[in-house]
Amino acid sequence: MGGLILVKAIGYNVAMNRLMLLMMVVVLVWGDEYVVGEGWQFGDSPIVLGGYLSSLYAQDHTHPFASVDDVALLGYGEFDHFDFLTELEATNVVQNRPTAFSPNRTNSAFRIERMYGDYYGHEGDRLRWGKFNSDVGFWNQMAINVLRDTTANPRLATDFFPKLTTGIHYEQSNLSPSIARISWTLQHTDDLDNGNNNMNVDRHYAMAMDLPSGENVYRFSGGYFQYDEQKSPVWYATASLKTRVQWWDVLMESVGRYDVRLSQTYYDGYVQGVWHFNGQHSLILRSEVGKSPQVGHDESALIGYTYRPWKSVALKGEFEGHLVALRNRWLFSLSILF
């Protein structure tokens, strides 16, 4: 509730303020029916209203940085063979960096992060249309901070392929004992809400496949995309493995990317282990190495701790050390799913 009051105090546009006020009224009036993290359902209708908030404190080699990082409204539901999701998000809502060159500032603009519908067939297939998370690897499917193990994303998930796709996506599940899932993605248009938290692309074609093997799940994907401004193709391929080793949940992912216009090849890979102990506590270790289009060659290691007093609330602290010491940073975040 405190997060919602803070959001209103910041001063959004009239329409979004009314939506936030509606959420507050819903919680106050129907408090006995509301469970934090599960949204609020409108009576017997299939529509559920929710949201999330994420705040961040970072310390690097210069000055501390604090922000209300993400505030989002979610509307979702399902009916018969259909479901839908709409996510409106404001990023960097309040920023506080005490320097003359980076003054405090606010952002009140809500943008379309995701907006899609699904149709489920009778044979384990699904057709999705709209704007959705690209079906590439495992990390890219964890869109919300509170659901991820760390606040910091590996560069593999931010610098190598479009995080989001505007188009259609078709997948089939349970094809055979050796193939758990296969999917195809097609984008042949500009992004919905162009450039919001995503590479600015107008073409994206991709394919993904999941192969189970005991406790292991292998995911392979590859595709092609085209920047809207450059009209030049970029090819990429990824390989991922999710498994468990004793007490540790292990995630390994790698990517290769080739930019045709630049005749440049980039790559990245990381391995991450998460030890969930004592129910609400997790220790995270991650090592990453790569050459990305944004920063060139880099090597990094991360150690983090996450405390979840409830499944919809996460307190995270982590240190990220880099080959170039100027990139080293501490990150602390509080994220809540409503």
pLDDT digits (tens, 9 = 90+) for 273-301: 999 988 899 999 999 999 999 999 999 99
Q: pLDDT digits over 249-262, tens only?
A: 999 999 999 999 89
What whole-number distance in Å separates Cα of residue 29 and Cα of residue 309?
25
To which residue do tokens 């090592």 refer? 287
Q: pLDDT digits over 105-146, tens only?
A: 666 688 999 999 999 998 889 999 999 999 999 999 988 899
Q: What's the distance, CA 214 to chain centroid? A: 27
Report the mean per-residue pLDDT for the chain: 86
Closest CA to 222 of 207, 203, 239: 207
Question: Looking at the domain 2-337, which fold is it?
Answer: Porin (2.40.160)
pLDDT tops 50 at residue 8 = no
pTM of the entire predicted model: 0.85
Buried b (16+ CB within 10 A) or exposed e, 294-311: eeeebebebebebebeee
Q: Which helix (H) or strand (E) segment is 8 a member of?
A: helix 2-10
Q: What's the distance, CA 201 to chain centroid? A: 18
Structure tokens at 279: 């129910």
Structure tokens at 164: 């989001």
Q: Is 54 exposed, middle or buried (0-12, 13-18, 19+ CB in 10 A)?
A: buried
Sketch the domain layout of the chain as residue ranges: 2-337
What are the DSSP E strand ranges found in the chain? 40-41, 47-59, 64-79, 82-96, 105-106, 111-120, 125-133, 164-176, 179-187, 201-213, 216-227, 233-245, 248-259, 264-277, 281-292, 296-310, 313-322, 329-337
First and final C-alpha spacing in the chain: 9
Q: pLDDT value at position 97?
A: 64
Q: How far is CA 1 from CA 23, 51, 336, in A?
A: 10, 12, 10
pLDDT band at 13, cuts 50/70/90? very low
Q: pLDDT value at position 103?
A: 57
